[in-house]
Amino acid sequence: MKLNLFPLPRKVQVKKTKASLLNKNWILLPEQCSPSLRERILEGVEKIGRLTNQVIRIGNSVPDDLGIFLKTEVKTKLSSQEYKLEISKAGCHLQAGDEAGIYYGFLALVQLIEQFGSTLPVLSISDSPDFPSRGVMLDVSRCKVPTMETLKQLIDRLAGIRINQVQLYIEHTFAFAKHESVWHDASPFTHEEILELDDYCKDRYIELVPNLNSFGHLNRWLKHPEYTHLSEVPEGLHPDCLAPNQASLNFLEELYDEYLPHFSTTLFNVGCDETWQLGKGRSKKAAEKTSVTKVYLEFLKKIHKLVSKKGSKMQFWGDIILHQPELIKELPKDIVALNWGYDADHPYKKECPAFASSGIEFWVCPGTSSWNSITGRTDNCLTNLGESAKYGSKHGATGYLNTDWGDGGHHQVLPISYLGFTAGAGFSWNYKANQNVDLAGAISRHFFEDSTGKLGQFCLDLGRTLNHLPGLRRNNSSAIGQLLQMSLPSGRLDISKLTRGQFNKAEAWLDKISVDLMESQPECSDRDLVISELKHALAMSRHAIKRGRFKRLGDGTLEELKKEFQSIIMNHEEQWLARNRRGGLRESSGYLYRAMERFDQEPEEKQS
């Protein structure tokens, strides 16, 4: 018997007999049940009542002869988040190591009732996660700052697939009291909003972890005259990295003192990735005496000391220290290294042992492959997410942080990321059980409430459009994303080997998969917006292919393309404001307007 559960559990035993839950109307809550768990159970009770056509009540103690639908208990012999669910003719019994485990077991029961109604198979489930921490990191600095409504809706959906940590990647999008010049046009999060989000997450067994880049990626600060004295290369045209000195530490301490009190967790992600300018300015002499990585390590230790002083446990991106893996052992022992990599061939197999052998706690941090793509990159996404889970679990990683970036203007619509969120949730819960799970069904169910499963399948297939346009560089980008803008920071896009047949196949593929989009039946609260967003992604994909055709083969006219692209830009701005604040929109649209200008600037490569 196939059980329609997601994530699929570690161990299931199903018997041939059935259990009727009719005339069983009570759910017993654990002793000393928190208000948060009561609220989550009540949400599920409303759904159970609709599915079984009966009134379900909850309490802490009722006589057995009233008919117990579900009895829940916290058992200290079970580990955190572990649960055991038994369904028998006598009713349902759920034991867990803590309230989070009760919540996850209850979610599994609700899914079974969705599948079978009030007559369930007699079964037992024993389940627990591979990774204690399973997170999603949202880039809220590269243009898009979501509305509170958008974030809360997403948090609800992530909680429903057992994500238990959320990070908001912050460079400049928090309203620091003394630094308005940095965030003035960004529509930043306020102090009150972060406090509200922290409470909202806690109520759903999610840890909201502060994330504030503290070394590199600080151009949005350092470009302002009042901060350039903090830069490693203040004379540079694009200062991006702090100088590793006391002035920078004083600056960071001021930010930490204002930012950290809004979070109930003690974890703190200070970033510190991609410090490419380090050793090229103020720290050049020090780097020449030792190495750039050594200079990096020494300043990282000082940041760690500062973070510890604030009562927090420091997380940092592990890319720079891996330049000299022998230095990993010199890291503070209470630090958490975040081992990130976003391509299918990223060497997690090599890098995970480097952290594990040195005794440093580490997490694996793959990505949704949504950014710079428009469509997503399905095959890269699934391999990257799966390999990180496989090798992270093998080598003792304690966490799995799935990242969703916004490079290049953040032009992908939010539903493009749902594939990565869903697959990452399954792989991080239990990789072995979920590596062949029905992802189309899981996406459709948990994000779209689409009983046909077609909308999830559309998302999977849209991300395979790039497979029909081989030969374009795809690291952190798709062929569609590249064709739409026809330029990358590394240089002009070479489309000289693309053929008419490949363009034809890509367009035929979009025609084929658009049927699933049209025939889907989403019932989610934002269904109209979802369909509109995915139609927009489809339109951008079609336009990207037309643009490639024009530049490579001379098909179409410049006037037609410009008119269509102008319409796409206008639709992009409308879609943006449906889920996001206005700040960052001008910057995002600027990428597209510059792409329009390149229609004239780039020479045509017309071929017969």
DSSP class of 607: -
% pLDDT > 90, the chain: 89
Instruction: Give the CA dihedral 151, 157, 162, 167, nearest 10 degrees.
Output: -10
Q: For residue 374, what pLDDT is reported?
A: 97
pLDDT at 207 exceeding the cut of 60: yes
φ, ψ of residue 424 in degrees (nearest 5): -60, -40
DSSP class of 522: B
pLDDT at 53 exceeding the cut of 50: yes
Query: Which has the minimum average pLDDT: 174-183, 187-196, 593-602?
Result: 593-602
Say which amino acid occupies 542.
Answer: R
Of the pLDDT bands very low, low, confident and very high (cuts 50, 70, 90), residue 476 is confident
491: left (phi over 0), alpha (psi -120 to 50) or beta: left
Rounded to an integer, the average pLDDT of 45-69 is 85
pTM, to two decimals: 0.96
Do the Cβ atoms of 10 and 431 come closer than 8 Å? Answer: no
Do the Cβ atoms of 81 and 101 come closer than 8 Å? Answer: yes
Quote the CA–CA distance of 52 and 274 in Å, as a whole number: 54
Q: For residue 602, what pLDDT is reported?
A: 54
Positive/negative CA dihedral, 83, 45, 208, 450: positive
Q: For residue 128, what pLDDT is reported?
A: 98
Instruction: Give the CA dihedral 284, 286, 287, 290, nearest 10 degrees.
Output: 160
pLDDT at 599 exceeding the cut of 50: yes
Token digits for 8? 């699929």
pLDDT at 524 exceeding the cut of 70: yes
Residue given tokens 């510059």 in the structure block: 594
- pLDDT one-digit tens code per residue, 139-163: 999 999 999 999 999 999 999 999 9
Q: For residue 492, what pLDDT is reported?
A: 65
Helices 148-160 and 191-202: crossing angle in degrees, nearest 10, is 20
- pLDDT one-digit tens code per residue, 301-348: 999 999 999 999 999 999 999 999 999 999 999 999 999 999 999 999
Quote the CA–CA distance of 366 and 343 in Å, as a whole number: 8
Rounded to an integer, the average pLDDT of 84-107 is 97
Among the listed residues 445, 412, 442, 414, the one whose alpha carbon sits nearest the alpha carbon of residue 521: 445
Query: Which has the minimum average pLDDT: 371-385, 401-415, 479-493?
Result: 479-493
Quote the CA–CA distance of 494 and 490 in Å, as a whole number: 11
Q: For residue 525, what pLDDT is reported?
A: 97
14: left (phi over 0), alpha (psi -120 to 50) or beta: beta
Residue given tokens 């949704």 in the structure block: 368
Say which amino acid occupies 71.
Answer: K
Among the listed residues 255, 182, 270, the one whose alpha carbon sits nearest the alpha carbon of residue 222: 182
pLDDT at 414 exceeding the cut of 50: yes
What Rg value do the Cα atoms of the chain yield, rounded? 25
- pLDDT one-digit tens code per residue, 179-190: 999 999 999 999
SS3 534: helix
Of the pLDDT bands very low, low, confident and very high (cuts 50, 70, 90), residue 22 is confident
Quote the CA–CA distance of 374 and 5 in Å, as a whole number: 30
Quote the CA–CA distance of 18 and 119 in Å, as a whole number: 6
Cβ within 8 Å of residue 142, ≥6 positions away: 405, 406, 407, 408, 409, 410, 584
Query: Which has the minimum average pLDDT: 95-99, 326-330, 444-448, 469-473?
Result: 469-473
**Is the bond preceding 353 in cis, omega lying within 30 degrees of 0?**
no
**Mean of the per-residue pLDDT values for the chain?**
94
Residue given tokens 């020449």 in the structure block: 288
Of the pLDDT bands very low, low, confident and very high (cuts 50, 70, 90), residue 67 is confident
Enumerate domains of the chain plus CATH numbers.
11-127 (3.30.379.10), 133-449 (3.20.20.80), 457-601 (no CATH)
pLDDT at 459 exceeding the cut of 80: yes
Quote the CA–CA distance of 269 and 39 in Å, as a whole number: 30
Q: For residue 491, what pLDDT is reported?
A: 46
pLDDT at 16 exceeding the cut of 60: yes
Positive/negative CA dihedral, 428, 432, 436, 442: negative
Residue given tokens 């390999």 in the structure block: 387
- pLDDT one-digit tens code per residue, 220-269: 999 999 999 999 998 777 999 999 999 999 999 999 999 999 999 999 99
